[in-house]
Amino acid sequence: MAKNKNNHHSMFCSDKVFKFFFDSEKGKVYLSDDISPEFVLLMDNFMNEKYEVVYLKLIEKCPVCNSNLSKNGTDRFLLNKNREIKKQKYVCKDKECQEHTRACLDKFIDKNCNYTQDLREFGLNTSLIDYCSYDKKSDLIELLTGVLIPRSTVYYHEKALSDEYLDKKEKEMTGMIKELGIEPEGVYHYDEQVLWVNTEIKLRMTILCATTNLIICDEIIDGKDFDKSTIKKFLKKSLKGLKLKAIVTDGYRSYPSIIKALGAIHQKCVFHKMQTLMKKVIKTLNKLNRKIKNNTEKIEKNKLKITELKSKNHHKRGRISLKDKKRQKYSGKIKKLEKENRTLRTSIRQNKSKIDEIQKYTDKISLMFKSKTKETVLKRFNKLKDKIEELPEEIATFIEKLSKDINNTLNHIKNNDIPNTNNKIEGYFKITLPRYLKRTFRTEKGLNTKLRLNRIRWTKRNVIKNKIKKSAGF
């Protein structure tokens, strides 16, 4: 640290980076205009004393004639509307030029705006992590930076910056994908997600690469426009020029013919098959369990009534005289309740037997889908099919329907790179647009902004990071 002629302390850093020195007597910090104002806010956290910040031009030359400049006062500027800084004004020393200029922070702060670019992008950066209301974003900004900013301003900043911000982030992701050599490998998941924009039904049509997790295409269409031809056009357009080996879907009836026309192997989701079965099975099991519970409760109530009637009979035993009308009456009621209990117990045993039977065949179907060879699957399937008339109704109906497309359900067995479920794309939907957000958005722009943010996050976490981990041997 050296002393100047005015006995002021000065600190210098490389001129290639920025000009920076502290005037201890005047309590001023001078920064060149290529230093982000965020640096000022960072310094405020470490400086105990109040100080004044003055921004200088990095190159103090006239922009018109390249002559030297003379300082000519300062302009006051309220950074983030709560921190005063000053911009140095200049005038050209050339008397013929007399050009006026000043330190410029336009690359950090937009014209006619007081907020830094980082603060304006805060809401969008927060949305990259999770959904957050504008009120909460405003509270977070105040908590982390001390800047009081209305929710309406947060909304305005996001609206103004979102397209440019998202384009930049998407370009970064695309560049990293190309750099890492990540490409679709021919096996894809396809599905639709139902959602709403201002009470209007929308369909989100998505294709995901099964091996790299790449988002091949993710589009929103009106619910009224969705039909078989829409699916066909979407798949054909999205997969044009890409490797195509197989497509995994749920059980929608239009898929087989569409995928066959594309020349791809069709794998139906085994999980959806079991889910379809279990919906009917659980409904039946719940009904049977309710009957068992109700019958058990009736038996207990009848037992209490029998005990009460016996107590009124003073627990007398032996044959009842025909003249003893009261005991005859009580005895008749007891016999009736005991008979009812026997009937109820029989019903309970029958219902328990039905439950055991349904669960037994459900387990057999589950085991069938877990088989490691196609021959084993078909052997177990045919055994069930041969005695279809003896099966419970829910199981018989399932086996009958499965017989029509059993081959499309088993393509994964001989092709290890084909997943047997569509769970990956279901997980993608739940992560990028959870159920609680499906009715939140009032405009398509708001919905698309949210989806673009979450696609960026998905790509970073599940595509790029996965590739880096695999390359590193993890």
- Both tokens of residue 55? 């921004």
- Owner of token pair 């992008």: 121
- Both tokens of residue 136? 């909460």
CA distance 166 to 448: 11
Please tell me the pTM assigned to this model.
0.77
CA distances from 170 to 61, 266, 392, 459 (A): 38, 31, 53, 9
CA distance 462 to 187: 17
CA distance 176 to 220: 26
pLDDT in tens, the chain (474 residues): 344 444 333 333 444 334 555 565 577 888 998 898 988 888 888 877 778 899 999 888 999 999 999 999 999 999 998 899 999 999 999 988 999 999 999 889 988 888 988 899 999 999 888 888 899 999 998 888 888 999 999 999 988 889 999 999 999 999 999 999 999 999 999 999 999 999 899 999 999 999 999 999 999 999 999 999 999 999 999 999 999 999 999 988 899 999 999 999 999 999 988 988 999 999 999 999 999 999 999 999 999 988 887 777 665 666 666 666 666 677 778 889 999 999 999 999 999 999 999 999 999 999 999 898 989 999 999 999 999 999 999 999 999 988 888 888 898 998 889 999 999 999 999 999 999 999 989 999 989 999 999 999 999 999 999 999 888 876
- Both tokens of residue 45? 């956290």
Pairing of strands 52-56, 69-79: unpaired
Q: What residues are paired with 56 via a beta bridge?
A: 32
Task: Provide CB contacts within 8 A for 288, sequence distance 6+.
Answer: 351, 354, 355
- Both tokens of residue 328? 């005859």
Q: What residues are paired with 32 via a beta bridge?
A: 56
- Cβ(177)–Cβ(153) below 8 Å: no
Burial of 362 (0-12, 13-18, 19+ CB in 10 A): buried
Classified as helix, coil or strand, 30 is: strand
Tell me what pLDDT residue 1 has. 37
